[in-house]
Amino acid sequence: MALNKLIKEATWSLGGQFALVFLTASFQFLLARLYGATVVGILAVSLSSLSIATLLSTFGLHTAALKGVAYYLGQGDNERAYSTALLGGILTIVISTIAAVVFYLFSHFLIRLLFLEITISIVAKTLSVSIPLSALTLYIISVLQSAGNLRYRVIIEQIALPCLKIILLLVFAISIGRTALGVSYALITASVIGLILSLLFFIKADIFNSQNVFIQDISAWKMLVHALPLLLTDVSYRTLQESQILILGTLVEPQQLGIYFVCLRASSILGLFLTASNMIFAPKISLLHSHNNFQKIRELFTVATRWGVMLCIPFAIMAFVFAEKILILFGEDYTTGTTVFRILVISQFLNVATGGLGWLLIMTGQTYKNLVVSLFSILTNIVSILIFVPSYGILGAAVSSLLAIMVINGITLIIVSKTLNMQPFNSLYWKLTLCGSATALMMWFYINYVASSSILLQILSGLVIVFPIYILLTWIWALSETDKHVFNILIGRGSLASSK
C-alpha cells in the first residue's frame, strides 16, 4: 500500500471532516437560533426516530458492500464485486421502500403513545419520505468508497449535503415560517438532491468498467444473511446514540430535550476525527484481511488512532474550556447545559482515543463479537438513563452516555487485544496525552488571568494560542519521523516521491 495514496486519501478525508465540522456547527447554530429550544426538542425526537428507521432500512447492506466489494476487488474478481454491488443496490431500494411505508403507517401511533405531542408525529411522518432516498445514497457512496473513490463520498456526504441543508433551512424558514415542518421539508429536499449527486458520481466513476463485466450469480439470501449481523451492529451503535433522545423525550420537557440535543450534536463534532480515520482505513483493513496481512493491519490501526487523537486533542481542549461560551452562541437558554456539554465532550474524546475498534472487528470477520458488546452497551445505557434521568435530568443522561462509551470501548479493546493481538497505544500516544495536558493547563491560566471580557474574542484568541502551543509541543516531542514526513506532505513542504 503506497504511502502517497494513503496520504491523498487522508487529505480528502480530513479536509472533508473539517468542512463537515464547520457546516454541521453552522446548521446547528442556525437551527438553535432560528427555532428555539422547544422546537429543537420536537425535532430531536423526530430525527432520532428517523435515524434508526433509515439505518434499519439499509439492512446493513452498505456495510456489507463496503467490506465485500473491497474484498473482491482485492482478489481481482471484478465481476463478483460488480454483481455484489448491483444486488445490494436492488435490495436496498426494495427494503428501504418497505421500511418507509411501515414507518409512515405506524410512527403516528407509536409517537403519540410515547410522547403525547402531535407535532412530533406529523414531522416524523413527513420525514419518512426521505428514508429510501437516504438509504440508497448511503449505499452508493459506500460502494464508491470501497472501490477507492473516497473523495466522492467526502464531496457528497461531508460537503454537498451539509451545504444543502443550511441553504434549504434558510429558504424554507423564509418561505413558510420557522416551523418544525419547514425543517422537515428542507431535509427531504436535501435528500433528493444528495441521491441525484451520488448517482452522477457513480456513473462518472465507472468503478467496475461495467461494459466489460458480466453479472455473476450472487445469492440474495446469502447476501442478506451476511448483512444481518452488520445491520444489528450498526443499529446497536445508532440506538446507543439515539436511545437517549428517545427516552429523554418521555421523561423531560421539550425545552430540556432541545438543550441536550444541541449539547449532544455539538460535542459529537469531536467524533468526526474518528469517522475520518475509519473512512480511510476500513476498506483497506478488509483488503489486507483478504491477504491475511495482520502485521500491516496492526500498523494501520495504530497510526490511524494516534492521528485521530492528535487532531482531536486541541479541539477537545477548546470545547471543554470554552463550553459555556460556545453554548451561549446558540442562545441564552442553552447555557444551562454547560456541565452536560463538558461530560459529553469527555465521552467523545474517549471514543476517539480508543480508535475504530468496532470497524476493526467487523472488517476482520469478528462481527458477532462486536454485536454482543454493542447490545450490552445499549442495555447499560438504557438502565443508567432510567436510574439517573428521573433524579438528575439531562445531566443524568450525559453521565449515562459516558458510562456506555466506557463500557463498549473497554470491553471491545480487551476483545481486540485477545483475539487479534492488537491495541492502539504506544509511547508516542502517551506523549500526545502529556502534550495535550500541558496545553490545557496553559489554556486554563489564560482564561482565568489574561482573557478579555468579549466572548468571541476569548474564543478566537484561545484558538490562536492553543493550536500553536500544542503543535509546537507535539512536533518536538510526540511525532515520529514518518509522522513529520506525512505532515510536511500535507502542508505542501514534502515530496511524495520520497515516500516509501
- Nearest CA among 362, 357, 366 for reference residue 422: 357
pLDDT digits (tens, 9 = 90+) for 318-349: 888 888 888 887 878 888 889 999 999 999 89
d(CA 103, CA 124): 8
pLDDT above 80 (res 11): no
The whole-number pLDDT of residue 497 equals 41
The verdict on 115 and 262 lying in the same domain is: yes
Inter-CA distances, 195 with 22, 79, 198, 245, 252, Å: 22, 25, 5, 27, 36
Higher-confidence position of 498 and 141: 141
On whether both 432 and 354 belong to a single domain, the answer is no
- Please indicate, yes or no, whether residues 114 and 181 belong to a single structural domain of this protein: yes
* Among 373, 491, 484, residue whose Cα is nearest residue 499: 484
Which pLDDT score is estimated for 72?
A: 72
What is the distance between the alpha carbons of residues 358 and 236, in angstroms, rounded to a whole number? Answer: 11
pLDDT band at 164 (very low <50, low <70, confident <90, very high): very high
Question: How is residue 349 written as a grid cell?
Answer: 474524546
Total number of residues shown for the chain: 500
**pTM for this entry:** 0.68
Rank 224-228, 424-428, 486-490 by mean pLDDT and report only the highest: 424-428
List the single range of 18-32, 112-126, 472-486 with lowest mean pLDDT: 112-126
For residues 260 and 157, what is the distance between their CA atoms, to the nearest angstrom?
A: 25
- The pLDDT, as a whole number, for residue 491 is 47
Are 401 and 496 found together in one domain?
no
Question: Residue 498: is its pLDDT beyond 50?
Answer: no
pLDDT of 116:
47
Least Cα distance to 130 among 84, 212, 192, 214 occurs for 192
Q: How confident is the model at residue 214 (pLDDT cuts 50, 70, 90)?
A: very low
Task: Name the percent of the chain lying above pLDDT 90.
Answer: 5
The CA–CA distances, whole Å, from 465 to 274, 328, 449, 473 equal 25, 21, 14, 13
The verdict on 57 and 150 lying in the same domain is: yes
CB 422 within 8 A of CB 297: yes
pLDDT of residue 499: 41
Q: Which of 425, 453, 468 is the last residue of a domain?
A: 425
Region 427-455: mean pLDDT is 73
Mean pLDDT on 349-361: 81
Question: What is the model's pLDDT at position 195?
Answer: 92
For residue 460, give its domain range: 426-500
Mean pLDDT (whole number) for 139-153: 80
The verdict on 417 and 500 lying in the same domain is no
pLDDT tens digits, one per residue of 177-198? 777 778 888 999 999 999 999 9
Give the chain's domain count: 2
Same domain, 418 and 433: no
Distance CA 341, CA 431 (A): 26
Q: Does 287 lie in the same domain as 201?
A: yes
- Mean pLDDT for 17-46 is 77
Do 388 and 437 lie in one domain? The reply is no
Q: Which residues contact 134 (CB under 8 A, 6 or more apart)?
A: 54, 191, 194
Q: What per-residue confidence (pLDDT) applies to 238? A: 67
Give the 3-state secondary structure of residue 404: helix
Residue 412 has pLDDT above 70, yes or no: yes
Q: Which of 425, 457, 476 is a domain's end point?
A: 425
Specify the 3-state DSSP secondary structure of 382.
helix
Please tell me which residue, 490 or 476, carries the higher pLDDT value. Answer: 476
> Cell numbers at residue 68, please?
465485500
Do 312 and 252 fall within a single domain?
Answer: yes
If you average pLDDT over every residue of the chain, what do you get? 76
Same domain (yes/no): 143, 167 = yes
pLDDT score, position 340:
92
pLDDT at 487 over 60: no
**Boundary of a domain, candidates 396, 425, 454:** 425
Both 415 and 487 in a single domain? no
